[in-house]
Amino acid sequence: MRNPYLPYPVRIDDITVETEDKNLKTFKFVFLDPADEQKFAYKAGQFAELSVTGQGEIPIGIASSPTEKGFVMFTVNKVGRVSSFLHAMKPGDIMGLRGPMGNWYPWEKMQGKNVVIIGGGFAFTTLRSSIVYMLQPENRKNFGEIHVIYGARSPGMLLYREELAAWEQRDDIHMHITVDATSDPNWKYNVGFVPAIAEKKAPPAGSDTYAIICGPPIMIKFTQPVLDKLGYAHDKIIMSLENRMKCGIGMCGRCNIGKEFVCKDGPVFTLEQLNKTPREY
């Protein structure tokens, strides 16, 4: 069995600044050994440890979709030691990647179902992966209606703006983009907080509809009552957690919520599962 602490060597292929405050950058990595890309086979919702040699590792959700080949992509917020160092790195630099880790959104269970994605702030990364995955022509027929409610503080803080605009043009996905506030007279989309938009735009609850929520704690706190009001059952509400992590493989002991390790048994849980844990996240 492979040493689970040994990262695959990767090269930074491309870096894009995502947001107007420049605190979010998207990194595209290419594996130095192409055979490693096969070994890194992942599903939408999983994460990886970005290993910045000499600095440390950070757990980051995989933003590329398994349907995109030749690279893997992550969007990283500049927070502390490792992420700040990464923000200062250049295309061509060598680092490492460990993973893929954790479980994924329940693609098997969601076959043939409607999916509503509710995201806020920069937690949209694995949601992008999921949307790209579902919209892939051979996958699209496996899902019913797809709704996306995604909000950020301002238009300039939305991630993947070109892709959002392209998805807006399609008729096989219902986009509900929103910002907290804007002074831009040309803003064509919604204004308001994610929970309020969700209340208006989310499809009705039912045994055939799943909601995936990802966002800052405050957004989750206010969105959950909305979904309750709309009648979503707790086993149909899916959330992804971000506890502090090191090993990513259920061994170092820090990311648990009860007996569950967020890194290995999660990060994806249904609300029904979370209700039974001490909810230390």
Partner 1 sequence: MKMIAIPKKEWPAGLAKAAGSFRLFGPVKEKEFHSFKRLENGQLPDFSCQNTRLSPKHLVYPQSEVMLTYSLDESRPDHHIMKEAPADTSPRAVLGIRPCDAKAFVLVRMNFDTPDYKDPYWLRAYESTTFVGLSCASPCSSCFCTTAGCGPFHEEGLDVLLADAGDHFLAKVLTEKGAAWVAAGGWTQTADAKAEGRLADLRQAAEAKIASQVQTESLKAADTTALYNAGFWEEVSFACINCGTCTYSCPTCWCFDIQDETRGTSGVRMKNWDSCMYPLFTLHGTGHNPRGTKLHRVRQRFMHKLKYFVDKYDRGIQCVGCGRCVRLCPVNIDIRRVCGLMNGLAASGEACAID
Residues found near partner 1 in the complex (CB under 8 A): 1, 3-7, 9, 32, 51, 53-57, 79-80, 83, 93-96, 217, 242-244, 246-247, 249-259, 264, 276-278, 280-281
Q: Does 254 bind ligand FAD (CB under 6 A)?
A: no
- Between residues 170 and 276, which has the closer beta carbon with respect to partner 1? 276
Q: Does 51 bind ligand FAD (CB under 6 A)?
A: no
Give me the least distance between CB of 77 and partner 1, in Å please: 8
Strands (E), the chain: 8-17, 24-31, 47-52, 56-61, 72-77, 94-101, 114-120, 146-152, 174-179, 190-191, 209-214, 237-240, 256-257, 260-261, 268-270
Strands (E), 158-201: 174-179, 190-191
- Between residues 231 and 258, which has the closer beta carbon with respect to partner 1? 258
Q: 3-class SS at 11?
A: strand
Give me the least distance between CB of 49 and ligand FES, in Å please: 9
Q: Does 279 bind ligand FAD (CB under 6 A)?
A: no
Give the separation between CA 247 and CA 274, rounded to whole angstroms. 22
Give me the least distance between CB of 239 and ligand FAD, in Å please: 12
Q: Does 216 bind ligand FAD (CB under 6 A)?
A: no
Give the separation between CA 160 and CA 131, rounded to whole angstroms. 12
- Between residues 170 and 221, which has the closer beta carbon with respect to partner 1? 221
- Between residues 203 and 250, which has the closer beta carbon with respect to ligand FES? 250
Nearest to 99 by CA among 5, 214, 25, 27: 5
